[in-house]
Structure 1
Amino acid sequence: MRKLLLSSIVVIIAIVYIGRLSYLQVWNPPTGNLLDDTAIKAIYDYPERGYIYDRNGQLLVANQPAYDVMVIPKDVKALDTLEFCKLLNISKEDFIEKYRKARVYSPRLPSVFVPQLSKGEYALLQEKMRKYEGFYIQKRSLRYYAESTAANVLGYISEVNERDLKKHTYYQSGELIGRQGVEEQYEEVLRGRKGVKFIQKDRFNRVIGPYKNGSYDTLPIQGNDIHLTLDRDLQMYGEQLMVNKRGGIVALDPKTGEILSLVSAPTYDPALLVGRQRSRNYTKLYYDSIANPTFDRGLLAMYSPGSPFKTLNALIALEEEVVNEHTTFTCYHGYRYGRSSFMGCHCNSGARNNMNRGIYESCNSYFANVYRRVIEKYPSPAEGINKWSDHIKSFGLGNYLDYDLPTGKRGRVPGEGEYNRKYGEKRWFATNTISNAIGQGEILTTPIQLANITAAIANRGWYIKPHILKKVGKRDTIAKKYTEKHFTTISPEHFEPVIQGMYDVYNKGTAKWIQVPGIKIAGKTGTVENFTRINGERAQLTDHSIFVAFAPIEDPKIAIAVFVENGYWGNRWAGRIAGLMIEKYIKGEISRKDMEDYVLNGSLEEEYAKPLSGKSFRINDGKDFISINGEKPTIEDER
């Protein structure tokens, strides 16, 4: 009986083993874990990444060949390490560390040992690679930039890290992935799909041919070319205008939401982030805490919007029926409220301003009265501020706008909760928030948000979400959300008096010296007070220069917002830059050569070199901008 039991156990175990082996060798189809078989080696064939063009078909980004030295640790045999290091221009310590990392990743899978050899380095090394078993050279492509422009928009590519490998099973160690900008946002569109060849090896680790006659091999699929909404010439011109200045320019097509230009200054040459020096160059750029060239100011920098925000308060007041376009308020060099608070202004003392004059002369007193009427229309300040906030948010403020770029800031639109926390519930009034009347209170915006506001005004009450992708390949593949109109809470008829006021900013207001011949432009200057905190004390720095505009009034083709940090008053820098950008886009040439020379040859480097001036750039929560009742409020200087 015992012999029978023992024999039965042996037979059962044998059947199980035979069955399992048969399943693995005959019936089990190869899957993504085919490389678990140590007798199979995969050789990847990487496709060319898709090209990037501007809206007019001008090339922005192409490819250039590069060569990576790959290693499969378990295949490495004894070698002359010093000779190999000399060929690769690395130290012995580098060799040991790179080999260690490759083993940690996988002894059997290939890893990049030395990336991105030049053609010369490749030619020198290729003929000697046979001496170094376990190492081989793999060809791939790197980015080539037709022009040194739009670095913040385009982004760059670099090797995947451990986080990428955990998140995306598609990638292997050493492969490249898009970072920032368009390269990151449209990575799956641009990268294509890599091909793979499976090689069978014998028990002596010798290659004996394709696995199963290549039936599981795949060919690479080239990445898709994409066309952006960006206008290359306008982008390059904007970057030229912003040389030796800090800030941002955002230009949109108001009818479509297409981003025509997205300038962040200072910028950098995107070619710096290509090749073996990429990591070193990026580290140098990233840790430049003064100029912050890798920081996209157009999407990330938050500023008080200043006087351009007055246009929204005018629209809200009309919608709430607390004023009409003929309602006047008297200005005595500013607006006095409470016992000792005063909001200064540059209007003539005793001037009676209606909405039109209030806009083109940028009267602080007029808009303080308008704002108070909106808030005080309701039974409590809390109800009033919440209604006001709802109107503001309908223009896209306080959110990311859902554009198709991977970075951004929400900005800030204050409401009841913020003031309750600050002053206490039911312990604050309209006057505590009066700085919102002139865009200098708790409200914070990004340049792209202000450009979107301007587009909504140009359209008389609606906007399409800003976006950068125009088409993929030869197909127009715009997502539906970038074709839908988003309507504000303001009725269309209320926009005409505000637009007339913005037009008169050029005719007889704060921008009358920077008119552009032959183009009817509606605009608004802004001079934003600029504070920081030094050892807990509030310190004032040089004002920011801001300008928003759209043109032509009768058929808007461009809406623009310009920020120049520490740029003094609105028309000095931002207004001139906006006018030049508008004329460049609409006419293709510049008639105001005097204005162009002023901007191109002008510099704010001396301003930025002053003590503490670097503090004027911030991406904080806006606390430095808060105007507190009882403290001398902000005074906007329009000249």
Structure 2
Amino acid sequence: MLENRKWVIIGVFCLVGLTFLARLFYLQVLDDTYSLGASKNSIKRVVEVPYRGQIYDRNNELLVYNTPVYDLYVTPKQVRIPDTTAFCQMMAITRSDFDSIMGLAKNYSSLKPSLFMRQLSKEDFARIQDALVDYRGFEPVISAMRTYPAHTMANALGYVSEISRKKLDNQDIPYYRQGDYVGHNGLEEQYEEQLRGKRGVKFMMQNVRGVNKGSWKNGAFDTLALAGQNLITSIDVEVQRYADSLMVNKVGSVVALEPETGEILVSVSAPTYDPNLLSSRSFSKNYRALIKNPYKPLINRPIMASYRPGSTFKLIQALIAQQDGSLHPSMVYGHGGSPMRCHCHGGQNLRGAVQYSCNPYFYNVFRKFIYHNGETNTFKASAVGMRKWHDMVEKFGIGQRLGIDLPSELKGNLPTVDDYDKMYRGQYRWKFSNVYSLSIGEGELLISPIKLANLAATIANRGYYITPHYIKGFGKPGVGVPAEYRQRHETDIDRQYYLPVIEGMRGAVVHGTVTPLANIAGVELCGKTGTSQNAKRGHKFDHSIFIGFAPMNNPKIAVAVFVENAGWGGDAAASVAALVAERYLKRKTEATRLDQKVKAANYLPPVVPVKPKEPVPIRPRKDSSRKDSVLKPLMTGIKPKSVVVPGVSGN
């Protein structure tokens, strides 16, 4: 009995011993967990950030390139600073700045590196390089700063800055790290994935003090960083800079397209700023100054500003009415019976009405279009006509996003029957007399400059447009251009109906509503002027608008110009458009008199200083002994809601 128990005990001990031996064999021979853990202490993973792709104009002139700089990273757990005051003096920062940066770094992670100082120039880094050896926990990483040699197109290009915490947390696929740079706004954001390139990884050996000891396994596991793709844009930077010079001391925009391709040649948002201001260590200070600027230079007006199109909208009215059959080019309308005033003599046909921008003519055109549906009830006929009108106008890209390759494009407004039903609180409770201001581009219409440039391109093409876009290719023209920027969008207006409209547009420039100086020899500009009501009270003048294309029979450029607070469209806006078209077609400016006149003009509205709000006076109720007695502010200065009243559109 005892003999059997002895063998059982011996067997148990042997089994336990074999188990330990097997476990030791697994840990020592088969499992590499501890080996990898030890390697992590001696092998450092270094992420290599590639250079962003450069940006060029259509003629291969550089718009954006990279300047090498150094970013200084800090790992709080490893920091050893013998003399903090001396360190702050060396880095040219205050002690409070140092404490703030270190606090943010510790909150992010004590073990992971985070950005301490960015964009040190080669000279600044050379000054501190040797001294950094005495300060553990700080590591320089070579980076790049975006540089803009053309000093133009700030809003369309966008800028590159440190990624925000929100964007960092909302990544679908983890790619960015704390302190990484990312494109914001403009083309930098639109084509971020192509411009940023592909990261590389290097594995470096280091000793217990964190000193690099060379590549691990001769770089067998390293991956190379791939630079971002170079973006070729459709911009003509020579004409772009010239258009900038014409818009100095003005608020507005200039947009020019190549009608056949939809490529954007010029994109001016005025007033503008030097894009290099947002590509430096002074980013925050410069950005705050731009935000406080009363003329709002950070707004990309070609795609974000919305205006009433004024008389330029008469072109669409003429085209859809002809297609509908309610207008023939030979039809003549006088001024009788129209509630709208006009600066021209009556009795015009379609060509003359476009040439002289006759308001009563297009009032009658719109009225006949709306009621050209066989309905006898006035209210019902208005609704049926408006639905048809909306659907035909929409095909010109109005009231929707065109889909250009920039973020933040606004859709504007093209009123619908439902909108008016809500406005007048019921179906069939409004009629033509409530909406007739649409006939001359006023009322509830809101259109951005890019859409009016697209309208000019559509008329130049005699019936179609290609979505406006900045991209011309990656690496070389035509490579990587999305399919939607090659697709034709038809307006479903027959080609024959464009011809009298174009003849009227040419007449407007030769001897119509356009200033004679804008009829530049050799350009053969066709255009339409417009004056948009200024919604801001207190301004003396409305907004000046012009759209057009040139030459007449072989269009190479379509252009739209908005100059705020400049009055008649035939003067300020038309002059800018004519000069831009001439510079693009001739590659020089021969209309020097007009050039000098435009550059000398100043249409900047005066800046009204914002007064601090005064405290609202209060007074106690007379009977302060009552239980419900409280101090209540006086209700003073309450203004009624503002109402937009349709008015008269100029030429």
TM-score by length of 2: 0.87
Instruction: Deviation per CA, 1:522-561: give whole Å up to 9, x if none.
Output: 100001121236xxxxx67520000000011111100000
Cα deviation, 1:1-59, whole Å, max 9, x if unaligned, reads: 9999999899879978986897762799x9xxx99955542223332222211101111
Secondary structure of 1:523 counterpart: strand
DSSP 3-state at the match of 2:520: coil
Work out the percentage of aligned pairs sharing the same amino acid. Answer: 38
Do the aligned residues in 1 keep the contact of 2:256 with 2:558 (CA within 8 Å)? yes
Q: Report the Cα distance in structure 2 between the residues aligned to 1:38 and 1:149, rounded to whole angstroms.
A: 49
Please identify runs of 4+ aligned residues in structure 1 that moved more than 3 A: 1-24, 34-40, 200-213, 607-612, 623-627
Mean CA deviation greater in 247-256 or 473-482: 473-482
Q: AA paired with 1:297?
A: R
Alignment of 1:556 with 2:561, yes or no, is no
Structure 1 counterpart of 2:299: 295
**Structure 2 residue 399 is the aligned partner of structure 1 residue 369:** no
Aligned length: 603
What is the CA distance between 1:354 and its match in structure 2? 1.5
Bigger mean CA deviation after superposition, 392-401 or 200-209: 200-209
The structure with the larger Rg is 2
1:532 and 1:541 in contact (8 A); partners too: no
Which amino acid is 2:649 matched to? E
Distance 1:25 1:589, change over 3 A: same
Query: Which runs of 5 or more structure 2 residues have no equivalent in the other structure?
Result: 1-7, 611-640
Residue 433 of structure 1 deviates from its aligned partner by: 0.8
Give the whole-Å Cα distance in 2 for the aligned partners of 1:23 and 1:412: 69
Q: Distance in 1 between matches of 2:392 and 2:567?
A: 30
Cα distance in 1 for residues equivalent to 2:487 and 2:179: 41
C-alpha distance in structure 2 between counterparts of 1:544 and 1:9, whole Å: 93
For 1:248, the aligned partner's letter is S
1:129-208 correspondence runs (5 A):
129-168=132-171, 169-201=174-206, 207=212
- What is aligned with 1:25? 32
The letter for the 2-side match of 1:374 is: F
Instruction: Tell me the equivalent position of 1:455.
Output: 457
Partner of 1:415: 416
CA contact (8 A) 2:239 2:583 kept: yes
Shift of 1:205: 5.6
Query: Alignment partner for residue 249 of structure 2, among 237, 240, 244?
Result: 244
Give the Cα separation in 2 of the matches to 1:470 and 1:163. Answer: 32
* Matched residue SS, 2:542: strand
User: Which AA in structure 1 matches 2:438?
Assistant: N
User: Does the 8 Å CA contact 1:199/1:209 hold for their aligned counterparts?
Assistant: yes
CA contact (8 A) 2:399 2:412 kept: yes
Residue matched to 1:616: none
Shift of 1:210: 3.5
Q: Of residues 529, 532, 536 in structure 2, which corresponds to 1:532?
A: 536
Within the alignment, does 1:504 sit opposite 2:507 as a pair? yes
Counterparts in 2 of 1:426 and 1:95: CA distance versus 1, 3 Å: same
Structure 1 vs Structure 2 CA RMSD: 2.8
Q: 2:331 aligns with which of 327, 331, 349?
A: 327
Quote the Cα distance in structure 1 between the aligned partners of 2:444 and 2:197.
46
CA-CA distance at 1:362 after TM superposition? 0.8
What is residue 465 of structure 1 aligned with on the other side? 467
Deviates more, 1:72-81 or 1:547-556: 72-81
Distance 2:413 2:117 in 1: 46
2:313 corresponds to 1:309: yes
Q: Secondary structure at the match of 2:553?
A: coil
Return the offset for 1:258: 0.2
SS where residue 128 of structure 2 aligns? helix
Q: Is structure 2 residue 122 aligned with structure 1 residue 124?
A: no
Distance in 2 separating the partners of 1:462 and 1:220: 44
Residue 284 (str. 1) matches residue 284 (str. 2): no
Q: Distance in 1 between matches of 2:482 and 2:265?
A: 18
**2:432 is aligned with what amino acid?**
A
Is 1:358 matched up with 2:353? Answer: yes
TM-score (ref. length: structure 1): 0.88
CA 1:2–1:302 in structure 2 vs 1: closer, same or farther (change >3 Å)? farther
Q: State the SS of the aligned residue for 2:127.
A: helix
Q: Is the 8 A contact 2:68 2:143 kept in 1?
A: yes
- Equivalent position to 1:112, from 115, 122, 127: 115
SS at match of 1:330: coil
Mapped partners of 1:549, 1:505: distance in 2: 10
Matches within 5 A, 1:227-238: 227-238=232-243
Out of 250, 256, 260, the residue aligned to residue 255 of structure 1 is 260
Q: Which amino acid aligns with 2:190?
A: Q
Tell me how far apart the structure 2 counterparts of residues 593 and 269 of structure 1 sit (CA, whole Å).
Answer: 27
Distance 1:109 1:499, change over 3 A: same
Closer, same or farther in 2 for the Cα pair 1:551/1:595, shift >3 Å? Answer: same
How many Å separate the matches in 1 of 2:78 and 2:383? 72
In structure 2, the residue matched to 1:394 is 395
Measured at CA, do residues 140 and 625 of structure 1 come closer, stay the same or move farther in structure 2, by a change above 3 Å?
farther
